[in-house]
Amino acid sequence: MKLHPVEGLVPGIAARIAGAERGEARRFAFRVARLACAVAGVHDRNALEVARGGLEHYPETEDLVALWDLERDLDSACEAHLGTHPSTCNLDQMRLHDECIEARAVGAVIAALKPDALVAARQATQEALAAGCETAALEALADQVLVS
């Protein structure tokens, strides 16, 4: 069985997500997205509002499209800096470029919106790690949000 990348990087958090109630997992996903935006220095108003609002203020279609466009533009800039697609690079290489880090933080916001709360939490965590969030900070969030 293939492990989700989060299970390989932070198995304790992955296990807590797997055992979480859907509401807890969703809250965790959005808290992780907010942390990723803070760490990466995201200043895009729309991305920050979606991360802050969570599902209480579900974004309009235009806001979602703007998020996807922002992530795509940041990924393109990241690829230009790296000289190759970001998926072929390690995290250390990506973290050398602000656009790469920001793209992953915006990816965390998009991931938090996934229909399945557990998938949202895992993918937001994966994106947050790529955006430069420290494992200890993510574990502290898990301690606050994921009751085990």
Give the DSSP per-residue string, 10-31. Answer: -HHHHHHHHTS-HHHHHHHHHH
Number of domains in the chain: 1
Question: pLDDT tens digit string along 85-95?
Answer: 888 888 888 88
Instruction: Show the domain range for 137.
Output: 5-145
**Global pTM?**
0.89
CA angle 101, 60, 111 (to 5 degrees): 35
Average of pLDDT values for 102-130? 95
User: Which pLDDT value is given to residue 39?
Assistant: 96
| Span 19-78, pLDDT tens digits | 999 999 999 999 999 999 999 999 999 999 999 987 777 788 899 999 999 999 999 999
